[in-house]
Structure 1
């Protein structure tokens, strides 16, 4: 008995299998970050507004790309380049709308295979684009891939992870988004010129291909298997993810069924499978199958019910506010257009500065992943938003005063404080704020809100920047301050709590 009690009370560990499965799931996030930032550095050479030849002695027509009829650049206006950048968000919106439902129907792993093929196709279209229309199409298709990935990845990680580690492992989603951004900036140091920018865009296809191959090495989500009535399969996957801990695996399956209101008819799954006679075990499995069918039915709530059922009202408003605010605090003004923003003060070093900012982003996001489960979601959101409000005010001042030191310093701070809260937490808390049966549809809805806000910032920032110059960042500053106050007043802490335990403020 003491050994059993110690086992039950032991803290879950990140096993090799769990770490590998999380990494593979997060490859979709790497693709998301890569595609989101891929036009930042090469945008000016791609659109024919700047010419930079790495080998002046060699005409472009003599390069491999030139000999195969790939144009040196695609002539685009500032507005057209803005649309080519932000149409990614419309594709992401389309992908996020159907991702949750299809992942619930066909499974997280099976759906991810199809998604990788979509990513390969979209990247190849962008790589080979010789017209504005082809570039728009390719960006839309990769947006669909990334919109789906950013729905499925948090679901997959949440469903594989022990609840004590969901914050830390869930934060790996944002870490990998930032790794994708960093990879784009790193390759841009070498490839963002008038001859080689297409190779920078082809890397997206290679990332999707690697993701596709790695998916063969991991198992389906155990929670999805349980929802389909395959409790033995779910327990088997969990046992591997938990390092062979059979008791913990059984208890997690039982906890899932209980959370989803599944009736056990008085039979405990964990107890019945622990040395029970064959007839009791068979009865338990039959009961488990019935309850899993109930669980699967409950999980398939409609979008109309999600908007009309009072049970989902508070969580839906919270999801809306958090996912929209992640973008309206202005982060993608830097991710999409950081090179252009910095080039006004440091034209020769803009790409290098953005690469340095991306390094800071990855390091801080990784470090913050250990704080999410220690400090909680709410304090980090408030701290992050409040600090972003201050930082953007100084970014505005640096631009207006033509002070490169202030601009670069507070841009780095701005990105860093985003990474400790508003970066990793929004997608993590969607499922924590929502009732279990609404997890999939809430993830799709929240991601849809995020994509709409991303498009608004991506398309609107160049227009506002041309009109207001550096003062545009004061809009982000005011919004971030208001969001910090909203979280403090309205959003409950979700760390270590079931949805029914949350304390909502009216």
Structure 2
């Protein structure tokens, strides 16, 4: 085997270090849910709600008895909702800056710079009892969301550029694996007897910034992206050294030649910014596919499933629904590992089709179970099974693949802008689902998942018709697929002049 295609210790170290940012993203996503009641109580104290209400309580009343009323206070509800929503708003705003930060000083230094935000956010939340908890937590969540919006683009960009072609899918999936592991860690750490209690909840939130500290220590040891060094900076010798550090001693001629052609292509057109990418007819098909894949991830109903799972487990007689929810998190992690193992064998397109189609069937099964659970007790267990299968199908394809396939669909020039747009699309749709699902649920009742089933069917058809297979293809070959047609051509143009002629004829 060509040593340039092997997994080396340096490559594994670099991917692990980058994925720490994804772990932090996942932890921040899940950490706010478990200690909700405890945090609401402290918000009430800070706002004066607790003091006002406890003054009229009988002497034998306890704080725990008053907790639900404090949580229902309009001021507490507003500040709690803002604590949750501000995270997505920060991510939406910063996702537009992914390309700028990644190109400013490089991928590695870019990730290193933004860690300042994560540490600051962790300190704001960890020390929130020193001032007004609601102000400190909301500020920390906003800063952390801003950080996560950047790292959700920088990590797939870096991993996609340093990974050998044969392992690009498996290594790219590690971004999603780190996210779900982070969510699972936050769920476990948020248990009442660990950190999700009255005394330790600030530490639980503050630990959101812990992976950034470790990543800051490790990033200086990671090689910079060879594609960034060669294509953007024109430093061929440094790019060659970086390739050898990442993949071991091997003949770098073919990789450097591919980057040389890509650089020539990028030098012939002006720098591609976000608005230029939106207007460009050359990249319109790639951009449409990228955005639709991110929409399919968020509009699949996965967040709604997590939102509704605790109630279903409670109806099924599970005495501790929180542990069942953690079980969903474990399945989340296990099947992401399955995707890591399969993505470079089965292919991105096939796994996405299997995942979306399976989720569609599960959503229909879920609807049937919810509609008939009052008539047949065993239907509740059908709904529970549908939840576990839904999550499994999500992590096989629609969960991890959209994050890294964007880096595969675009060459070096438009890649940062494409990742920024895809990230913004992902964060925005996530925010919309989070804000509207409760209203849609009231409107549609137990048939709410039919809406997601219809969306999943549409996304499945789109993937079948429009998404090409990128497994084992160079960036140049993938670009040629879109210029030549939607199907993989039998003869991929290898020569730069042939590809340029193909582009010219397509534009004409």
Contact 1:29–1:176 (CA under 8 A) maintained in structure 2: yes
Per the TM alignment, residue 432 of structure 1 is displaced from its structure 2 partner at its CA by 1.9
Per the TM alignment, residue 167 of structure 1 is displaced from its structure 2 partner at its CA by 0.6
Contact 1:235–1:250 (CA under 8 A) maintained in structure 2: no
Matches within 5 A, 1:237-252: 237-245=242-250, 247=251, 249-252=252-255
Q: Distance in 2 between matches of 1:342 and 1:369?
A: 29
Q: Deviations over 1:211-234 (max 9, x none)?
A: 211212212222111121222111
Asked if 1:312 corresponds to 2:279, the answer is no
Per the TM alignment, residue 78 of structure 1 is displaced from its structure 2 partner at its CA by 5.1
Asked if 1:492 corresponds to 2:492, the answer is no
CA gap of 1:335–1:111, structure 2 versus 1, over 3 A, is: farther
Equivalent residue in structure 2 for 1:470, among 446, 455, 474: 446
Per the TM alignment, residue 437 of structure 1 is displaced from its structure 2 partner at its CA by 1.6
CA gap of 1:78–1:338, structure 2 versus 1, over 3 A, is: farther
Equivalent residue in structure 1 for 2:162, among 157, 160, 163: 160
Asked if 1:217 corresponds to 2:196, the answer is no
Which is worse superposed, 89-98 or 184-193? 184-193
Per the alignment, in what secondary structure is the counterpart of residue 430 of structure 1?
A: helix
Per the TM alignment, residue 114 of structure 1 is displaced from its structure 2 partner at its CA by 1.7
Equivalent residue in structure 2 for 1:43, among 28, 36, 39: 36
Q: Deviations over 1:217-260 (max 9, x none)?
A: 21222211112122211111110111222x1x342122112133
CA gap of 1:499–1:260, structure 2 versus 1, over 3 A, is: farther
Equivalent residue in structure 1 for 2:5, among 2, 6, 12: 12
Q: 1:384 aligns to what?
A: 355
Equivalent residue in structure 1 for 2:237, among 221, 232, 235: 232
Per the alignment, in what secondary structure is the counterpart of residue 272 of structure 2?
A: coil
Per the alignment, in what secondary structure is the counterpart of residue 22 of structure 2?
A: helix
Q: Deviations over 1:244-300 (max 9, x none)?
A: 22x1x34212211213335xxxxxxxxxxxxxxxxxxxxxxxxxxxxxxx65x8583
Q: 1:55 aligns to what?
A: none
CA gap of 1:404–1:121, structure 2 versus 1, over 3 A, is: farther
Equivalent residue in structure 2 for 1:411, among 353, 377, 387: 387
Per the alignment, in what secondary structure is the counterpart of residue 502 of structure 1?
A: helix
Q: 1:434 aligns to what?
A: 410
Q: 1:284 aligns to what?
A: none
Q: 1:182 aligns to what?
A: 184
Q: Distance in 2 between matches of 1:203 and 1:299?
A: 43
Asked if 1:203 corresponds to 2:207, the answer is yes
Per the alignment, in what secondary structure is the counterpart of residue 195 of structure 1?
A: coil
CA gap of 1:138–1:339, structure 2 versus 1, over 3 A, is: farther
Q: Distance in 1 between matches of 2:332 and 2:105?
A: 35
Q: Distance in 2 between matches of 1:399 and 1:455?
A: 26
Q: 1:289 aligns to what?
A: none
Q: Deviations over 1:390-425 (max 9, x none)?
A: 212333344442654233322111111100000111
TM-score by length of 2: 0.81
Q: 2:495 aligns to what?
A: none
CA gap of 1:298–1:212, structure 2 versus 1, over 3 A, is: farther
Matches within 5 A, 1:368-383: 368-383=339-354
Contact 1:40–1:337 (CA under 8 A) maintained in structure 2: no
Matches within 5 A, 1:19-58: 19-48=12-41
CA gap of 1:82–1:463, structure 2 versus 1, over 3 A, is: farther
Per the alignment, in what secondary structure is the counterpart of residue 96 of structure 2?
A: helix
CA gap of 1:392–1:192, structure 2 versus 1, over 3 A, is: farther
Matches within 5 A, 1:263-282: none
Per the TM alignment, residue 160 of structure 1 is displaced from its structure 2 partner at its CA by 0.8
Contact 2:31–2:204 (CA under 8 A) maintained in structure 1: yes
Give aligned pairs, total: 444
Q: 2:108 aligns to what?
A: 109
CA gap of 1:406–1:199, structure 2 versus 1, over 3 A, is: farther
Q: 2:492 aligns to what?
A: none
CA gap of 1:128–1:348, structure 2 versus 1, over 3 A, is: farther
Contact 1:40–1:335 (CA under 8 A) maintained in structure 2: no
Contact 1:378–1:492 (CA under 8 A) maintained in structure 2: yes
Per the TM alignment, residue 440 of structure 1 is displaced from its structure 2 partner at its CA by 0.9
Q: 2:499 aligns to what?
A: none
Q: Distance in 2 between matches of 1:132 and 1:176?
A: 29
Q: Distance in 1 between matches of 2:125 and 2:318?
A: 27
Root-mean-square deviation (CA, aligned residues, Å) is 2.6
Q: 1:351 aligns to what?
A: 322
Q: Distance in 2 between matches of 1:341 and 1:97?
A: 38
Asked if 1:502 corresponds to 2:481, the answer is yes
Which is worse superposed, 102-111 or 121-130? 121-130
Matches within 5 A, 1:23-172: 23-48=16-41, 80-129=79-128, 130-172=132-174
Q: Distance in 2 between matches of 1:505 and 1:221?
A: 30
Q: Deviations over 1:115-134 (max 9, x none)?
A: 11101111222334434443
Equivalent residue in structure 1 for 2:198, among 194, 200, 203: 194
CA gap of 1:490–1:222, structure 2 versus 1, over 3 A, is: same
Q: Deviations over 1:314-357 (max 9, x none)?
A: 11111111111210001122456754664455574222111111
CA gap of 1:410–1:225, structure 2 versus 1, over 3 A, is: same
Task: Structure 2 unaligned segments of length 5 or more: list them.
Answer: 45-69, 488-508
Q: 2:293 aligns to what?
A: 322
CA gap of 1:89–1:345, structure 2 versus 1, over 3 A, is: farther
